[in-house]
Structure 1
Amino acid sequence: MNKKKSRIRISGFKLTQILLCLFIAAGFASCKHENAHWAYGGDSGPEQWGDLSTDFQACKLGKNQSPIDISNAKTTDLTALTLNYQDTPYVVENNGHSIQINLENAGNLTIGEDTYKLLQFHFHNPSEEAVDGQRFPLVAHFVHKSDAGDLAVIALFFTTGKENALLKPVFSNLPAEEKESLKGDSAINPASILGNELAYYAYNGSLTTPPCSEGVRWIVLKKPTELSIEQLSAFKELYSGNARPLQPLNARQVLQSR
């Protein structure tokens, strides 16, 4: 009888071991899924994004993906952009994929009856969007979010030329280490960076990074601004080639303001 009880205890112990292993394995798989590493090259590059996590499936299955090559845009009376921005404190963050400027209370973008709060802007080299097949040395994406959770992104192209005085405090002291953040010494006004000429292209797209969620309202300003070669080089020392390849336009149409 004692021998039989011993066998039962051993079986129960083994069962507990098996269940524990399965639990750990399931938890590991879940963590791996939630924290899937992605990059701009290698085994975690753009061609593999959609396979890195079920949360990233839009990266390979989506039909309204960004960025795109802007060409043959239809000219129409697009609603004017109203920039209700203000001076705001900021933090420059190296997020592991780009340099991102987080804004504390920057104000809003209004397009017709839609209002979006400006949250942050970040950079890509080269520009992710192309115009008639040509990419720019750099683009800034100004990310906005409405109270309903809808996203609107303004893209501002950069060409090399004179130093960008408005962004000098940012580019002269970029955080070199991943996840490092530096608080700005003074306030910044995004409206000054974007300028006064707000003619734009518009189309429906997605996030250009995983999870590649669609339904993003894209506003691509036609007029680029400038930065110096030194400023561009400072960014490229940290992030060169952090741009997703161009995506098919499919059935979408790009509009442009007059």
Structure 2
Amino acid sequence: MKKALCLSAVLLASGAANAEGEAKWGYSGDKGPENWAALSPDNAICSGKNQSPINLTGFIEAELQPITFDYQKGGQEILNNGHTVQVNYASGSSIEVDGINFDLKQFHFHAPSENHIEGKSYPLEAHLVHASEEGDLAVVAVMFEEGEANEGLKQGWANMPEQAGDEHPLSEQASASALLPSDRDYYRFNGSLTTPPCTQGVRWLVMKQPLTASQEQIERFADVLHEPNNRSLQPVNARPVLQ
């Protein structure tokens, strides 16, 4: 039952609004991240010891196996759920990690970045969210630095819904491959979803090589969201960060 609920949180526009249109959680004030665990019994794990995001540092050398990416064009629709802009993905694209196949369900963005790398924050971070048949979760995170315009963002940005709850079909299916760097080396740690219900046991795979996005692209996303949508850094505790 727990894994079914976790998968629902990934697939749905989680936390957008209740029937009265009032946001269930947010990034500031009484509904901000420091209060998520108290907002609902379903969010209790938000105060757990294996939460994301983190500052990735103190790396442990490990023989990490390459991630096997099998991405097809499959981005069908883009939506604004009030907390991020998200592209929902058709079935048929996946990664393989630890001998397990994880299907790509959606990708979305945070500005500024949620994870930091050796203390560095980035202006934009993409999360490509995957789930196995058993309901286990894996997130590929990609950082963006300000620089050249990013071709992989252009289609979604041109169709970006400006109001919470708005959803637009994409006339041509988007490809998540365009959001991956050429160098697929990565950091790995065990964490959680960065939004309620903050489900733990998530495999985090953070690409080492950042991509670029133009100032205009970064500002466009920030203007639509109206406020930063990054959860504060969480304690690493005893978790190893592998590279």
TM-score, with structure 1 as normaliser: 0.83
Give 1:226's aligned residue.
212
Corresponding residue of 1:23: none
Q: Distance between the aligned counterparts of 1:193 and 1:72, measured in 2?
A: 27
Q: Which amino acid aligns with 2:238?
A: A
User: Does residue 75 of structure 1 match 2:83?
Assistant: no
Aligned to 1:118: 104
Query: Which residue does 1:184 correspond to in 2?
Result: 170
The corresponding residue for 1:242 is 229
1:89 to partner: Cα distance: 4.2
The answer (yes or no) to whether the contact 1:93–1:181 under 8 Å persists in 2 is: yes
Give unmatched runs, 5+ long, in structure 1. 1-30
Matches within 5 A, 1:88-237: 88-237=74-223
Aligned CA RMSD, in angstroms, stands at 1.5
Distance 2:231 2:68 in 1: 29
Shift of the 106–178 alpha-carbon distance from structure 1 to 2, 3 Å rule, reads farther
Q: CA deviation at 1:132?
A: 1.1
How far apart in 1 are the matches of 2:92 and 2:219? Answer: 27
More helix by share: 1
How far did residue 79 of structure 1 move? 1.2
* Structure 1 residues 158-208: Cα deviation after superposition (integer angstroms, max 9, x where no partner): 011111112211112310111101111212221232133110000000010
TM-score, normalized by length of structure 2?
0.88
Q: Secondary structure at the match of 1:122?
A: strand
Which secondary structure does the structure 2 equivalent of 1:76 belong to? coil
The counterpart of 2:45, out of the listed 41, 54, 58, is: 58
**Contact 1:89/1:105, CA 8 A, preserved across alignment:** no
Separation in 1, partners of 2:86, 2:176: 13
Aligned length: 223
Share of identical aligned residues, percent?
42
Shift of 1:241: 0.9
Q: Report Cα offsets for 1:50-74 as digits up to 9, x if no partner.
A: 11011111112x0100000000111
Higher gyration radius (CA):
1
Equivalent of residue 42 in structure 1, options 19, 29, 32: 29
